[in-house]
Chains A and B, each alone.
Chain A
Amino acid sequence: MKIAEILFWPVAMDVKYKEVEAMPDNYIDVCFFNGAIRNSEQKHLAELLRNKSKTLIAFGACAQLGGVPGLANESNAQEIFKTVYHNSPSTKNLTGSEPTQVVELAEGEVELPIFFDEVKPLDKIVAVDYYLPGCPPPPKIIFNAVEAIASGTLPPKGSILAPETAVCDECPRKKEEKRITEIKRIIEFTPVPEKCLLEQGIICMGPATRGGCDAKCLQANMPCTGCGGPRPNAEEQGAAMISALSTVLGIEDEKADNYSANELASQIKDPLGTFYKYALPSAIINKRYKK
């Protein structure tokens, strides 16, 4: 059954931006937009496709939350250029050059997109109708979304097209009592296969993360790193995870003489990278601030 015609798909079809620009407004029924906004070309495309589409869906963790590339918000454009073009060990930049916006060549003028200071999720640039989480989005929820579109049963605008559950709710591992005495990394020991990883001291983002993936990573013996974004009703993922972890970590030893909250906290080596792996640009504090 044919339910749609594909009009634009940069990775699979050769359709030029000009052809999209020539379409009347609202010509496209549904646009699945993937990727965060980091440069002026992406911003242009976001604005263009918003105008041309009746329904705009932020597809995947990058468009929804900023994604892994959003961790670059720990730096700004200048710092990134400094590392990439000057300081990285494999770089030999004898003339100290950096990309220039406009370059004159014999064939004409070549223009590069402007590299912004910050990575932003799609909804900080244009209005977004729906969100389809995941890195990558699980096939099942893509299929559900396509079905809802085809049958005209999409939920109210602004909805996240994934179940109202946390990853823990879908996780097949046995949960007993969450009390942990220390944080361990997955490379340091072999966890018991059927048991909740968090209960074994591994930071698993499951309690703070929206389900819909059937806890895929847990089925492959890896902790959830949070690609589904904040769990339902959580204001943001990092705060939800810090809260969850503080509830279970060290509670056995609170009254012991050598108990130290700071020592426990120091076992979490990179809180920013761990708790905001996919969601820094959409977090309450969405970047590193400079003095």
Chain B
Amino acid sequence: MSEYNPKIIGFLCNWCSYAGADLAGVSRFQYPPNIRVIRVMCSGRVHPSFILKAFKNGVDGVLIAGCHTPNDCHYISGNFKAERRVAVLKNLLTQLGLEPERLRLEWISAAEGEKFSKTVKEMTEDIRKLGPSPMKQEANE
């Protein structure tokens, strides 16, 4: 069998992390093609149901990336809200049989193209070690 290729959904905030991902592209920093990016206005826009649905539909990992705390979020505290949601969701996902490492939160500024590429590389490797999500099979049926 060929190497297992995890599928990762990335919710990136418009003002920092999406620009950071753009910079990674423009600067030609390499990163694996495993991530599918969805641009959102703020990391605080990512409702917990988005994350649960992504996993239910069989993705192997979810990345939420936003502006650095404490002062960079363009909506003042959306990133703090995202951080608390992710913290609670990690505990919930563990109870539902999913490794919490499949959900990751990072602060990536518009200047951190390299950090974006490094995050995606790391996350792809970490999830490759975990193997496919236990929900994947059912989602594909």
List residues of chain A with CB under 8 Å of any chain B CB: 74, 235-236, 238-240, 242-243, 245-247, 249-251, 254-255, 261-262, 264-266, 268, 270-272, 275, 283-285, 287-291
Contact = CB atoms under 8 A, between A and B. Distances in A.
A243 B139 CA distance: 25
Contact of A272 (B80, B95, B135): B95
A261 B85 CA distance: 9
A246 B81 contact: yes
B92 A246 contact: no
A284 to B, nearest CB: 4
A148 B55 CA distance: 40
Given A242-B48, A268-B88, A288 B83 contact: no
Contact of B89 (A242, A255, A289): A242
Given A268-B88, A285-B135, A239 B48 contact: yes
B118 to A, nearest CB: 22
Contact of A238 (B53, B92, B98, B134): B92
B49 A249 contact: no
A183 to B, nearest CB: 11
Contact of B84 (A74, A238, A255, A264): A264
B68 to A, nearest CB: 13
A251 B77 contact: yes
B49 A235 contact: yes
7 contacts: A266-B91, A270-B95, A271-B91, A275-B92, A289-B96, A290-B97, A291-B134
Dominant SS among interface residues on chain B: helix
A275 to B, nearest CB: 7
Nearest to A241: B48
B52 A285 contact: yes
B97 A261 contact: no
Interface string B48-66: 1100110110000000000
Given A268-B91, A271-B91, A289 B98 contact: yes
Contacts of A266: 91
A74 B77 contact: no
Given A242-B85, A266-B91, A290-B97, 8 more contacts: A246-B84, A247-B81, A254-B70, A261-B84, A261-B87, A271-B92, A272-B92, A283-B52
Nearest to A286: B56
Nearest to A271: B92
Interface in B93-108: 95-98
Nearest to A254: B80
Contacts of B128: none
Interface in B31-63: 47-49, 52-53, 55-56
A-B complex: 9 closest residue pairs judged by Cβ atoms: A265-B87, A289-B97, A239-B49, A289-B134, A246-B84, A239-B48, A272-B95, A284-B52, A261-B87
B91 A265 contact: yes
B81 A239 contact: no
Nearest to A268: B88
Contacts of A254: 69-70, 77, 80
Nearest to A263: B87
Contacts of B47: 239, 243
A214 B104 CA distance: 40
A251 B52 contact: no
Contacts of B135: 285, 289
B115 interface: no
Considering residues B70, B77, B92, B95, which has the most beta carbons from chain A within 10 angstroms of its beta carbon?
A: B92
A239 B84 contact: no
B90 interface: yes
Considering residues A243, A251, A272, A288, which has the most beta carbons from chain B within 10 angstroms of its beta carbon?
A: A243
